[in-house]
């Protein structure tokens, strides 16, 4: 052994790298297995190094993860009826949430901060600009439905504690049910 410097890891740490690694672990082995030490290992770094980039520790990491999954951007160029816009936004949100089933419980639990709140406001504006009255209530209802749908879909896909094989959370049945309920909700929001 030539006395590896051991300090200064190959590629320096950054918030983005940390978040990526954390999502990878959470999605691959469950939130419970996302620990500081394991995260450090994945980043080729000792656990304590993470605290320099996330001063409030694990709590801060959880906040960032939740926000990262919740903040959805929909191409604002899409014109069309409010129904089409609402549908597009709901689908995009569902897709974003399903891509990281491991941190879903965070997204559902942690109060929305920053980017997520902005995304919601944007959506409200887009819908009322497309002619929908009561866009605020509508967006809140849509958000609730999307969140709940994804939660049920993930929980039914057996993404719980048994550390089952990392099957894809997305299912055919889930998609059908989602679209069905979404149709109904949008229809009901109209009149």
For residue 124, give both structure tokens.
């409200």
Tell me the window of 12-20, 76-84, 124-132, 180-188 that interacts with a second copy (CB under 8 A).
Answer: 180-188
Q: Which one, 28 or 188, has the nearer CB to DNA?
A: 28
> DSSP H helical segments within the chain, as ranges?
15-29, 36-42, 57-70, 82-98, 104-109, 115-129, 135-156, 172-190
Annotate each residue in 58-87 with x if it binds DNA (CB under 7 A) or - if it does not, as one string. xx----------------------------
What does 108 bind: DNA, a second copy, none (CB cut-off 5 to 8 Å by kind)? a second copy
What does 191 bind: a second copy, DNA, none (CB cut-off 5 to 8 Å by kind)? a second copy
For residue 27, give both structure tokens.
């999605």
Counting contacts by CB under 7 A, is residue 36 touching DNA? yes
Q: Which of residues 123-162 bind a second copy (CB under 8 A)?
A: 134, 137-138, 140-141, 143-149, 151-152, 154-156, 158, 160-161
Whether residue 18 contacts residue 39, with contact meaning beta carbons closer than 8 Å, is answered with yes
Q: Which of residues 148-167 bind DNA (CB under 7 A)?
A: none
Cβ-in-10-Å burial (0-12, 13-18, 19+) of 32 comes to: exposed
CA distances from 149 to 33, 43, 57 (A): 25, 33, 31
Backbone dihedral region for residue 163 (phi beyond 0: left; psi -120 to 50: alpha; all else: beta): left
CA distances from 114 to 19, 74, 76 (A): 17, 17, 19
Counting contacts by CB under 8 A, is residue 92 touching a second copy? no
Q: Where along the sequence are the contacts to DNA (CB under 7 A)?
A: 5-9, 12-13, 33-38, 40, 45-49, 51-53, 57-59
Q: Where along the sequence are the contacts to a second copy (CB under 8 A)?
A: 59, 62, 104-105, 108-112, 134, 137-138, 140-141, 143-149, 151-152, 154-156, 158, 160-161, 176-178, 180-181, 183-189, 191
């Amino acid at each position: 052994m030539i006395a590896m410097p051991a300090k200064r890891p190959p590629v320096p740490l950054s918030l983005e790298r940390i978040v990526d690694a954390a999502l990878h672990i959470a999605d691959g082995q469950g939130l419970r297995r996302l620990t500081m030490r394991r995260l450090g290992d994945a980043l080729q770094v000792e656990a304590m190094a993470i605290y320099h980039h996330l001063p409030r520790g694990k709590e801060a990491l959880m906040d960032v993860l939740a926000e990262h999954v919740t903040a959805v951007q929909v191409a604002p160029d899409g014109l069309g009826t409010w129904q089409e816009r609402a549908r597009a936004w709901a689908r995009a949100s569902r897709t974003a949430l399903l891509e990281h089933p491991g941190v879903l419980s965070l997204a559902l639990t942690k109060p929305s901060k920053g980017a997520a709140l902005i995304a919601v406001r944007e959506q409200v504006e887009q819908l009322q600009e497309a002619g929908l009255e009561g866009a605020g209530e509508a967006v809140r209802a849509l958000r609730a439905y999307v969140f709940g749908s994804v939660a049920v879909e993930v929980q039914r896909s057996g993404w719980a504690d048994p550390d089952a094989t990392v099957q894809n959370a997305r299912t055919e049945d889930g998609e059908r049910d989602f679209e069905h309920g979404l149709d109904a909700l949008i229809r009901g929001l109209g009149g």
